[in-house]
């Protein structure tokens, strides 16, 4: 473990963007400056490390950004950083600036890169879970999830109005890659009759039977929320199956897409990001390296990066039981 005192730190956002990343950047920069550190922004994640797109930040660099979605540092996924040559170039660029500590705001892919880089070059790294998917073990919350799920709920509430006006069955596809948290939370919050998520195998016959039974008792307004990464995550294909099996159903599809990534972060996401950003710098200062800063039971929790990238946040089966009971 690197015993050198951290004096200059770099902060970056990596992978998919999420609302609240700017609040996390702001917290890292201002906490670092308060503690006498020099803070550098790294543009476009690991690509910026490789291309030496690095600049010194001051307190004014992060003024008036806490309410903004996206990330002022830009973000990207870097194929070059997966190669030893790319990481060697990145290390040389860090040395040019004297940076001896990194804060990476991103998801599991970003943390894998940080873990590999730290093991090779003994650079202390701290991860902050910035992902709308909420799929990282070691934290109850991730930066951006609350905003994304509220965006989905607001959109689905509007869809419900037109569903009710026309007695329609709507299939709404939400984001989530391999995680069903946005689908689960938004589906429960909007009274969805069925929620399809990657963590649970979809029984297509059960879904058709459920919708058929509702049609027989003239419950014609039905909502199916599906996570994009599930077995039937393609809402258009699912609609085709339902139309074939229930020809009388008036069906429509709405794919919410990247609208869930954008927008001003919620109060909750601003608070989470600020809290985590502060403790990221504190961790570097006190010698707690190569961990992800998370929150469990409303308390700050530290998870080794290698564990954070190996495990996934799991959805309890009791949630699916609740869905079935409340949608009957």
What does the block give as tokens for 153?
A: 């709920």
What does the block give as tokens for 271?
A: 């608070």
Residue among 273, 238, 263 at smallest CA distance from 252 = 238
Strands (E) across the chain are located at 8-13, 38-42, 54-57, 102-106, 125-129, 169-174, 194-196, 222-227, 251-255, 291-296, 299-304
End-to-end CA distance of the chain: 56
Contacts of 254 (CB under 8 A, 6+ apart): 155, 159, 170, 171, 172, 173, 235
Catalytic-residue membership of 133: yes
Q: Which of 17, 108, 133, 146 is catalytic?
A: 133
Q: How far apart are CA 94 and CA 76, in angstroms?
A: 19
If one counts every other C-beta atom within 10 angstroms of the C-beta of residue 211, the result is: 21
Please list the active-site residues.
133
């Amino acid at each position: 473990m690197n015993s050198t005192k951290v004096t200059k730190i770099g902060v970056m956002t990596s992978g998919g963007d999420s609302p609240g990343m700017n609040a996390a950047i702001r917290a890292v920069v201002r906490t670092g400056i308060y503690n006498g550190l020099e803070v550098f922004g790294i543009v476009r994640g690991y690509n910026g490390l490789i291309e030496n797109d690095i600049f010194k930040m001051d307190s004014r660099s992060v003024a008036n950004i806490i309410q903004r979605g996206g990330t002022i540092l830009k973000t990207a996924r870097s194929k070059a950083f997966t190669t030893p040559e790319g990481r060697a170039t990145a290390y040389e660029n860090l040395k040019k600036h004297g940076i001896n500590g990194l804060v990476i705001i991103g998801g599991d892919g970003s943390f894998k890169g940080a873990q590999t880089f730290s093991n090779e070059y003994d650079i202390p790294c701290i991860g902050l879970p910035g992902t709308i998917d909420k799929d990282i073990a070691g934290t109850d919350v991730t930066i951006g999830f609350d905003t994304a799920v509220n965006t989905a709920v607001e959109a689905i509430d509007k869809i419900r109005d037109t569903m009710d006006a026309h007695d329609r069955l709507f299939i709404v596809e939400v984001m989530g890659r391999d995680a069903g948290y946005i689908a689960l939370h938004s589906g429960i919050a909007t009274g969805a009759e069925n929620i399809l998520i990657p963590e649970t195998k979809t029984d297509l016959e059960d879904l058709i039977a459920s919708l058929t039974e509702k049609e027989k008792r003239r419950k014609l307004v039905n909502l199916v929320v599906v996570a994009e990464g599930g077995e039937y995550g393609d809402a258009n294909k699912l609609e085709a199956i339902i139309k074939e099996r229930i020809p009388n159903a008036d069906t429509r599809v709405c794919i919410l897409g990247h609208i869930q990534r954008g927008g001003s972060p919620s109060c909750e996401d601003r608070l989470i990001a600020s809290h985590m950003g502060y403790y990221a710098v504190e961790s570097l200062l006190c010698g707690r390296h190569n961990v992800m800063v998370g929150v469990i039971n409303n308390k700050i929790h530290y998870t080794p990066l290698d564990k954070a990238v190996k495990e996934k946040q799991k959805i309890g089966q009791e949630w699916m039981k609740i869905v079935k009971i409340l949608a009957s």
